[in-house]
Amino acid sequence: MIRLNLNESAYPPLPAVAEVLHQQVLSAHRYPEFTPHGSRRVIAHHLGVSDDMVTVGAGATGVILQALQAALDQYHGVAPELVTATPTFDGFPILAQLLRMDFRGVPLDRGGGVDLDALRTSVTAATVAVIVCSPHNPTGTVVDERELHAFLTSLPDHVTVILDQAYIEFSTAAPDLHRLVALHPRLVVVRTFSKAHGLAALRVGYGVGDERLMSGIRRFEIPFAVSAPAQAAVPVALAATTALAHRVEAMRAARDRLSAQLHAIGASTIAGEGNFVYLPGADGVALGSLLGTCGVAVKTVPGHGVRITVGDTFSNARVLAALRATAATA
């Protein structure tokens, strides 16, 4: 089975990162840092921000859990709510359930984009946090920077906003991180090493925001949650800017090529900026089912569409061959 359902990188770790990980095997009997102060300093330096503006956790999911815990810590009402656009990452409803929050999904717009106006009107006095994904998972659409600032400014002060940028390296429309966190003290921007860096198995991500907000979020860092291999990989991965840029450009090109080839055989896709292609509607769901019977695992969103991770050359060719064979017999 070819696995194109988890948005994993088509590439293994960069050689310099792989070498560090290999060395870490010999130290597997040793604990990592109690909390990842070293990784926090490296990430802050890379971004050009204060150490106090950063938290590090077990992947973007772990950081988002920390942010939700911190937001709940400031809430004293009943039935706290988490609001986000849906369909979305399957982990968000699970996090809400773990924290006993009501999960409120707001439908995407007709083009598969996050409807910021609808999100805004869905916020109530019980809303503890809003998650905005950009690029969005599963459609890959990107929120306009000006509209994002207006949205953030319009929200009441009691709401924490989590901007999930797991796929930001693949986007050509990344908002200015420094301006975002400077203007919006209730915003935490979350990123990961799982996607573009190809380090999904290490489980390491980080959040950036106002110092006061991040101080509260760091209170929920879990001891030893970021492994020693992950902590060793972070500085090497961040230093490999040129090699990463080449890989990202190659994945963007492969994504655009796959999208164009799907169009050529009659499939409809949404123009996204992740490392995946999204085929909306019932036709997309049907194509996803077909690929499953051909040994290609993709992510089906029932009633909405199917997401296909951009894989290596062989995997992408298998996708096209299966769909072309079906088109030829239709």
Indicate if the alpha-carbon torsion angle 163, 167, 171, 176 is positive or negative: positive
Residue 330 pLDDT > 80: no
The per-residue pLDDT for range 117-141, each reduced to its tens digit, is 999 999 999 999 999 999 999 999 9
Above pLDDT 70, what percent of the chain?
99
Q: Is 253 exposed, middle or buried (0-12, 13-18, 19+ CB in 10 A)?
A: exposed
Closest CA to 15 of 274, 251, 227, 198: 198
**Cα of 83 vs its chain's centroid, Å:** 17
Q: What average pLDDT does this structure show over 155-168?
A: 97
How far is 76 from 51, CA to CA, in rounded Å? Answer: 30
The per-residue pLDDT for range 170-218, each reduced to its tens digit, is 999 899 999 999 999 999 999 999 999 999 999 999 999 999 999 999 9
Give the domains, in start order, of the chain with CATH numbers.
2-9+242-329 (3.90.1150.10), 15-239 (3.40.640.10)
How far is 100 from 94, CA to CA, in rounded Å? Answer: 10
Record the pTM. Answer: 0.96
User: Is omega for the bond preceding 87 within 30 degrees of 0, making it cis?
Assistant: yes
> Over the chain, what is the mean pLDDT?
96
* pLDDT given at position 328: 61
Residues in the chain: 330
